[in-house]
Amino acid sequence: MDIAKRSVSSVLQAANEGFGDRRTYPTGFGILDRSIGGGLRSRNLTLVGGAPGVGKTIATLQWARNLAVAGVPSVFACYEHDEATLLSRLLHLELGEMPAKDRMAEDGRAARRVLGEVDSGVRSLADAARDLPILAELQRRVSEYAPHLWLVQASGSNTTVEQLAKLVGPDTGVLFVDYLQKVPVTAEFVEERERVITVSQGLKELAMESNVSVVAVTAADLGGMEASRLRLHHLRGSSALAYEADVVILLNDKFKIVSKSQMSFSPNSVEGFKRQIVFTIEKNRNGPDSVDLEFGKQYEYLRVDPEGGYVTDRLIDDRLITE
């Protein structure tokens, strides 16, 4: 893109008319959206970090689904799962979206097992739906927003930032990248730190030039996987990520980061802690940071309960003290 200059007068005029090309896309997690300025913003790079298995893909795919339901064209490029696996996850998610009485009924309980058979290739979805009508309902629900959501099996060998940019159309609202550290660069024998710098800069430029919101899942380094609580400096290539990102959200299992004194004070709450995930807004150019939010895990349905709240229990804070 050629460099251009604009007079302050022209920018003031655009401001008076309204920056019509700026967009905000709610994730569907109400308290999170309010905390980050209404949702995911166009021209912004949002990072979602966490240790393996904490729920990064679950949360971001759920956001992509919610955006598609709202009619926002979104692309989910995944370097770890193929399209069939992502579709299976969406079907599980829809089961979790159904009223509790339906998903806990006999057919609902059987659906999880049968979806596993479909995902493994033992049965086709159409064949399974004939025997279990609830699967046809799940398929119908996905079909309603399917035209607004694209799934991409990305390659760690050749799906570069330049290739990701080709996935973005004029109507695309949000591009999800799962995950950043697997995006390749064209240069050979580049150290990981340099690669992360190149990729993070590229994703930020993609967001700016294409007027989309980019959400990138990020991996923790070895220190982060061993830490009591994941922080921004635990992300692989953290210095570059901290600089380029507009918003950084870190996921931690609540049980692992509740202070020992809190555990002693409310021992009956321990099982509840295990069923919750903490979203920490570590960086936020659009509002306050260091905000801890908690959401219920519904990982049996590969979803997070979007009705979250502020954390009121005391958490460990490795930046100040280790308990």
Per-residue pLDDT reduced to its tens digit, 74-120 = 999 999 999 999 999 999 999 999 988 888 888 888 998 898 888 88
Instruction: With a cut of 90, say whether residue 240 has pLDDT above it.
Output: no
Position 227 scores a pLDDT of 87
Instruction: List, for residues 292-319, the tens digit of each pLDDT value.
Output: 999 999 999 999 999 999 999 989 875 5
219 has which bridge partners?
A: 50
- Compute the mean pLDDT over every residue in the chain, rounded to the nearest whole number: 89
Is 245:47 a contact under the CB 8 Å cutoff?
Answer: yes
* Residue 240 to residue 16: CA distance in whole angstroms: 35
Domains located in the chain, CATH noted: 23-252 (3.40.50.300)
Instruction: With a cut of 80, say whether residue 59 has pLDDT above it.
Output: yes
Position 104 scores a pLDDT of 80
Position 14 scores a pLDDT of 67
Per-residue confidence at 33, pLDDT binned at 50, 70, 90?
very high
Position 93 scores a pLDDT of 96
* Residue 170 to residue 151: CA distance in whole angstroms: 17
DSSP for 198-266?
Answer: HHHHHHHHHHHHHT-EEEEEEEB-HHHHHSSS--GGGBTTHHHHHHH-SEEEEEEEHHHHB-HHHHHH-
Is 196:236 a contact under the CB 8 Å cutoff?
Answer: yes
Instruction: List, for residues 149-196, the tens digit of each pLDDT value.
Output: 999 999 999 999 999 999 999 999 999 999 999 999 987 767 888 889
Higher pLDDT, 236 or 320: 236
Instruction: With a cut of 70, say whether residue 148 has pLDDT above it.
Output: yes
Peptide bond into 243 cis (omega under 30): no
Position 21 scores a pLDDT of 74
Position 199 scores a pLDDT of 94
Position 20 scores a pLDDT of 59
Give, in order, the Cα–Cα distances in Å from 65 to each of 26, 129, 144, 166, 314.
Answer: 11, 22, 11, 21, 32
Instruction: With a cut of 80, say whether residue 235 has pLDDT above it.
Output: yes
Position 15 scores a pLDDT of 64
Mean pLDDT, residues 60-65: 98
Higher pLDDT, 9 or 228: 228
* Residue 11 to residue 64: CA distance in whole angstroms: 32
* Residue 175 to residue 8: CA distance in whole angstroms: 31
Position 16 scores a pLDDT of 60
Per-residue confidence at 71, pLDDT binned at 50, 70, 90?
very high
Position 221 scores a pLDDT of 85
Strands 247-253 and 45-50, how do they pair? parallel
Per-residue confidence at 241, pLDDT binned at 50, 70, 90?
confident
Instruction: With a cut of 70, say whether residue 19 has pLDDT above it.
Output: no
Position 321 scores a pLDDT of 40
How crowded is residue 5: how many other Cβ atoms within 10 Å of its Cβ?
A: 5
Higher pLDDT, 10 or 30: 30
Position 194 scores a pLDDT of 86
